[in-house]
Structure 1
Amino acid sequence: MKKLLIMLFASLLLVACSDEGDTTKDTGEENNEKATDTDTSKKEEQKKVYQIGETAVITSDLYEFDYEVTVDDFKLTREVDGTPLDDIISGAEEDGRFAVVEVTIKNISDRSYVPNEMFSANFARMDAKGGETSYDQFFTIGDEELAPGEEIQGHLVYTTRVDYADTFVLKYEFMSDEETHFELPNPEQ
């Protein structure tokens, strides 16, 4: 009887010890589901978020140089630079609009580069994972070489609907550790 009690106690002790490590029986590896969820939440929280008028210092994840971006203004309109929305989207709906983001980009690195070749900004509603890239025909200044210390001003142009979102977001260095967001409140809501 004493042996039976000792074996029973040892079995309970082993079961209790194995539950503490939260390990799986098949592999012996720790279950990291909670840690992964926490890491993902922390990564999303760590994204840098700026407002209109604020300047962000951003590091190119791919090319490893720094640049500054300031969103100067944001508007929704049916025409940009004399180009009506219908010229870009045939039969555009009544609630269709150009989303025009006025930006200033400054080269704060020690080398020259062409902005449109080195980085882009995605535009989406606030909670969207992806986004659209801009129409380069409206940001041709971004096709010119930008020397160290120089800056350019222009507008990034996208298409959207008036009722698509209460708040939009402009994303630089999308899907990288350096991902930077600018919140853009919908001016028509």
Structure 2
Amino acid sequence: MKKILIITLTGLLLAACSDENNNSDVEENNQTTTDTSTDNEEASEEKKIYQIGETAVITSDMYDFDYEVTVDNFELTKEVDGIKIEEFLTGAREEHRFAVVDVTIKNISDESYVPHEMFSANFATEDQLGGEVSNDEFFTEGDKELQPDQEVKGRLVYTTRVDEADTFILKYEFTSDEETHFELPNPES
């Protein structure tokens, strides 16, 4: 009887020690998971996010100068400057649209530059990593030299589908530490 009691108590002690080790492993795993999600949140918080009407001060990662961008308006349309989406996009369907982003770019650096030569903006859905570059033929103002303290207004034009996303993202300085986003709610969703 004493042997059975000792074996039973020994088994219970081993089981208790085993549970303690498993619990600490679970706690360690939970801590790791928590740390990872915190890291992901911090990484997404590092990206500067703006809304329509807000002005972002952005530093060119490649050329190390500052510029301002304000998204003045965003629309999805079937025609830009008299060009219909069916004429511009081969195989366009009913859901295809031009995504038109009206922007104001201001040179706040000490040097003049041509905006199209110095930076671009990618247009993407929320879950898309890169996105597409604008069709510069619609924003010819971006091909002209911009003097210090001057600004230029124009339209960035992309193609998309009206049903592609509830919110689109305009990205400046993509994949750099200065990556800056503008959230563009889908006006047709």
TM-score range (shorter-chain normalised) is: 0.7 to 0.9
Q: Report how far residue 44 of structure 1 moved.
A: 1.7
1:135-160 deviation per Cα after TM superposition (whole angstroms, max 9, x unaligned): 01001110000000000000000000
Q: How many angstroms apart in 1 are the aligned matches of 2:185 and 2:100? A: 12
Higher percent of residues as helix: 2
Q: Report how far residue 128 of structure 1 moved.
A: 1.5
Instruction: Give the aligned residue type for 2:131.
Output: G
Instruction: Give the aligned residue type for 1:114.
Output: V
Please identify runs of 4+ aligned residues in structure 1 that moved more than 2 A.
32-41
Q: Report how far residue 39 of structure 1 moved.
A: 3.7
Q: How many angstroms apart in 1 are the aligned matches of 2:142 and 2:61? A: 19
Larger of the two Rg values belongs to structure: 2
Partner SS, residue 42 of structure 1: helix
Q: How many angstroms apart in 1 are the aligned matches of 2:151 and 2:96? A: 32
Instruction: Give the aligned residue type for 1:83.
Output: I
Q: Number of residues paired by the alignment?
A: 165
The match for 2:107 is 107
TM-score where L is the length of structure 1: 0.80
Q: Report how far residue 117 of structure 1 moved.
A: 0.5
1:88-121 deviation per Cα after TM superposition (whole angstroms, max 9, x unaligned): 2122010000000000000000000000000000
Instruction: Give the aligned residue type for 1:62.
Output: M
The match for 2:184 is 184
Q: CA RMSD in A?
A: 2.3
Q: How many angstroms apart in 1 are the aligned matches of 2:34 and 2:176? A: 22
The match for 2:45 is 45
Q: Report how far residue 38 of structure 1 moved.
A: 4.4
Partner SS, residue 152 of structure 2: strand
Partner SS, residue 63 of structure 1: coil
Q: Which runs of 5+ in 2 are unaligned?
A: 1-20, 25-31
1:25-83 deviation per Cα after TM superposition (whole angstroms, max 9, x unaligned): xxxxxxx9986764444122211100000000000011000000000000000110111
Q: How many angstroms apart in 2 are the aligned matches of 1:66 and 1:36? A: 33
